[in-house]
Amino acid sequence: MAAAASPTSARTDRPTIVLIGHGMVGQRFLEALAERGVTETSRVVVLCEEPRPAYDRVQLTSYFSGRSAEELSLVERDFMDRHGIELHLGDPAETIDRAARTVTARSGLTVGYDTLVLATGSYPFVPPVPGKDSTGCFVYRTIEDLLAIEEYAKNVTTGAVVGGGLLGLEAAGALTGLGLRTHVVEFAPRLMPVQVDDGGGAALRRTIEDMGVTVHTGVGGKEITAGEDGAVTGMELSDGSRLDTDMVIFSAGVRPRDQLARDCGLEVGERGGIVVDATCRTPGDTAVYAIGECALACDGRVYGLVAPGYEMADTAAAAIAEQDTDGFTGADTSTKLKLLGVDVASFGDAHGASEGALDVVYCDSRAGVYKKLVVGADGTLLGGVLVGDAEAYGMLRPLTGSVPPVSPEQLVLPAGAGAPVALGPSALPDDAVICNCHNVTKGTIRGAVTEHSCTTVPEVKKCTKAGTGCGSCVKALTSLVNDELEASGVIVDKGLCGCFPHTRAELYEVVRTLRLASYEELLASHGRPEARDGDGCEICKPAVGSIIASLAPSVGADGYILDGEQAALQDTNDHFLANLQRNGSYSVVPRIPGGEITPEKLIVIGEVARDFGLYTKITGGQRIDLFGARVDQLPLIWSRLVDAGFESGHAYGKALRTVKSCVGQTWCRYGVQDSVRMAIQLELRYRGLRSPHKLKSAVSGCARECAEARGKDFGVIATSNGWNLYVGGNGGADPRHADLLAQDLSHAELIRLIDRFLMFYIRTADRLERTSAWLERIDGGLDHVRDVVVHDSLGLCDELEALMAAHVHHYRDEWAETLNDPERLARFVSFVNAPEAPDPSVRFTPERDQIKPDLTLLAGPTLPVRTLESVRPLEGTSAR
């Protein structure tokens, strides 16, 4: 992609545009030039310091979760060649001669320019702390920084991050992901002091500390200490305390990278930043522009967010193309991020600085949710802070500056907590900005449908660029596009995928009613005509496989998911009845109903983990996970577990995962019912039940709720009169408290209602839709579900109960079935042509007396190699 460097690059007969810097904003500038046809009439040269083209710096931390540098790239493979752009990688500009209008790069290449655009970005600020240059001190800015951090972290156990802002928490998440004990040191009295208020900072801190990260606020680093070898050994803090740490990451903010401008005499601000006007042109030289984090905008601010940078890139490109432009006079600094798995968003006047501003606050400390709206005296929404649950961000931010159609209280209350109305994007005015990254309004999105004949979300994205930035607006965008199409009389295709014109719920009814036992039959009879001769796709195959599995006894299908056609429908995890891990190994999760286990069974798990060299962890769902098994070892491991009476825990499937429980009345002095017995009964009843998404449950023995039943898909809480049943909870990325479906139920009533609820959910939910999302989407919500499940308003309850009874009666443990069949065992090999050869890429490295994946493919501990012939077939196939 890089053009060959030459000592001098002469001017051509076309005007030459030189771009210094190729980050996110630089790439957006190139795209804006191409869109305006400038690349066809001008020569464009890019000098880039980094060894790779522009990549998504906002998603930088995702590198540690397996996303590659190529996947982070923002540049289409042929973009530069297609537009004739000369990109020089690893060759930064070093001097600018404004008189001669030339730029000289590190390699000695000199390029003459007619127009020069500076997009040099920013550099990490490193506080002047003694010891900051010790071995083990890093900044967190580029992929190269991440590579260095990852390499150094292999040999240390503890890390400290200086800075508790956006990048600081990103860095803390990276260290935690690398397995280090992590500290965050923030000089301000709260985390993310610019974006959130005291309440939001407190909620964020609680959640992060629950993840094992130690937070220090109101203190700064005083000195970094090092050993005789010059490597970091600790950090002294300003309050006199000391952190024992092996490495330090500085993420205390950024500063405009404006040295090139200073050296060539361009005007810079008192606190940095290249001074520009509304067209992003420097006032001292009309041939020079500056965009992004290196620029000091005409409103006196340096913007450190990508959305303002994109707007500046578009403004500069329009000015260069001599097109009309409104200019850049300021930008919305709203942000929505996920930091260490926690949703954090702020928008508008988040701190209530406006005169007469009032706060409307909702806080659930236990769930780690904090929401604050700042409202003017006249009811105008001025801004807000969302921590732990930022689902409403896409709706609230466009409403900023207007009086919402409902009260502020209704906008912050969670679903099921009294909020009587749910606003959709269609309630917004046309001038509301939906996509903040590209400044796309609702009116523009509507126009893409009505004026430019876009009929799908991808087409609207391409037409408007909405949803192609951070992605936080995609849900609102999809809703707007579908609403506009329907308003125009267009029938919106809500089919499951390109193979079927039906929803998942409709396909469920087809399979059930016509008793179709195979995907091939369903595709041939109900697939789209153009898809009927095909093989299906990755969306519909596992979805239909799940439907057939959940209805297997009723439609005459074999409930075992790896026989015949069913095997080809499964996702990777189901294919081997185990969870695939990031280094190609698998985890083994035996079912432990209610968390109750005998010493003998504990010993078997310990022996298996020891003999196969597996990493062992007790989970939050009352399970013992065994990590690091090769695919060829899975039958060997499960042979011993099944012999000891264990079953598959279905951690790999869209099925019931666990029914968590407290010790209940049996042991606890507060317990009022036997929660362990109930949890075991529920888990054994619903084990193996295939559903649109995973299912989690819990049983609490009293109202103290130690099992966290209200964070589950269906949760049970004991009362002195029986059991209360809650449904639709979710403790994951988008927390939701479950709603009370029925109370003071007898044992039989509870089982009957859960049977009905689960089967009604399986029957009507969309693909990969959790019960929490289903309950909010389904017409009538909780009231409708209660009418159907409790009061039998649709006359379905007998059928729902019969379906569940069939499932319970026909349940068979998948691993016990597998071990009894040599043909089924034959799939568990790393290489078909060398079945006894282990996968050499599955390697491990020691950590805390166990193992962890070695992603560098360095040799790890030797694991025992055994053959499938040593697996003893079981007697019978009944579940144990």
Pseudo-torsion of CA 544, 545, 549, 550, nearest 10°? -40
> What is the tens place of the pLDDT at every residue in 687-702?
999 999 999 999 999 9
CA distance linking residue 411 with residue 398, whole number of Å: 13
pLDDT at 736: 86
CA distance linking residue 465 with residue 662, whole number of Å: 50
Tell me: do 635 and 721 sit in the same domain: yes
Distance of CA 559 to the CA centre of its chain: 33
> What is the tens place of the pLDDT at every residue in 643-697?
999 999 998 889 999 999 998 888 888 889 999 999 999 999 999 999 999 999 9
> What is the tens place of the pLDDT at every residue in 742-764?
999 999 999 999 999 999 999 99
Is residue 436 in some structural domain?
no
> Is residue 843 within 8 Å of 857, Cβ to Cβ?
yes
pLDDT at 867: 39
* Domain termination residue (choose one: 291, 320, 349): 320
Residue 222: closest CA among 126, 133, 131, 161: 131
512-520 CB contacts, 8 Å cutoff, 24+ apart:
512/551, 512/554, 512/555, 512/763, 515/554, 515/555, 515/556, 516/548, 516/555, 517/548, 517/552, 517/555, 517/556, 517/557, 518/548, 518/557, 518/565, 519/544, 519/545, 519/548, 519/565, 519/569, 520/565
Q: Which range, of 423-432, 534-543, 775-784, 820-829, averages the lowest pLDDT?
A: 423-432
C-alpha atoms less than 13 angstroms from C-alpha of 71 in its C-beta half-sphere: 10
Q: Which range, of 485-499, 519-533, 575-589, 850-864, averages the lowest pLDDT?
A: 850-864
pLDDT > 90 in the chain, percent:
43
pLDDT at 416: 47
> What is the tens place of the pLDDT at every residue in 21-74?
999 999 999 999 999 999 999 999 999 999 999 998 877 777 766 667 777 888
Tell me: do 314 and 175 sit in the same domain: no
CATH code for the domain in which residue 648 is found? 3.30.413.10
> Is residue 357 within 8 Å of 375, Cβ to Cβ?
yes
Helix ranges (H only) for 254-330 are 259-263, 306-320
Q: Helix, strand or coil for residue 660?
A: strand
Q: Return all residues near 374 (Cβ < 8 A) that are at least 6 apart.
A: 348, 349, 350, 351, 352, 354, 357, 358, 359, 381, 382, 383, 384
Q: Is 706 annotated as a binding residue?
A: yes
Is residue 453 in some structural domain?
no
467-470 CB contacts, 8 Å cutoff, 24+ apart:
467/435, 468/437, 468/438, 469/306, 469/307, 469/310, 469/435, 469/436, 469/437, 469/438, 470/58, 470/306, 470/307, 470/336, 470/436, 470/437
> What is the tens place of the pLDDT at every residue in 185-196?
999 999 888 888
DSSP for 494-550, written as a single string: --SSSS-SS-HHHHHHHHHHHT---HHHHHHHHS-GGGTTS---TTHHHHHHHHHHH
> Is residue 185 within 8 Å of 234, Cβ to Cβ?
no
Tell me: do 272 and 356 sit in the same domain: no
Tell me: do 135 and 30 sit in the same domain: no
Tell me: do 618 and 566 sit in the same domain: no
Q: Helix, strand or coil for residue 94?
A: strand
> Is residue 729 within 8 Å of 712, Cβ to Cβ?
yes
Q: Is 463 annotated as a binding residue?
A: no
Q: What is the mean pLDDT of residues 584-603?
A: 87
* Domain termination residue (choose one: 272, 292, 320): 320
Tell me: do 144 and 117 sit in the same domain: no
Q: Is 702 annotated as a binding residue?
A: yes
Domain with 160 in it: 126-252
Tell me: do 597 and 707 sit in the same domain: yes
Q: Is 668 annotated as a binding residue?
A: yes
CATH code for the domain in which residue 263 is found? 3.50.50.60
Tell me: do 130 and 228 sit in the same domain: yes
Tell me: do 207 and 347 sit in the same domain: no
> Is residue 589 within 8 Å of 657, Cβ to Cβ?
no
* Domain termination residue (choose one: 782, 810, 838): 810
C-alpha atoms less than 13 angstroms from C-alpha of 716 in its C-beta half-sphere: 34
Exposed/middle/buried for 728, CB within 10 Å: 0-12, 13-18, 19+?
buried
Tell me how crowded residue 259 is: count the other CB atoms within 10 A of its CB: 13
When divided into structural domains, the chain yields a total of 5
pLDDT at 408: 82
pLDDT at 433: 78
Tell me: do 609 and 749 sit in the same domain: yes
Tell me: do 637 and 735 sit in the same domain: yes
* Token pair 């008793």 in the structure block, residue: 515
pLDDT, the chain, mean: 85
Exposed/middle/buried for 809, CB within 10 Å: 0-12, 13-18, 19+?
exposed
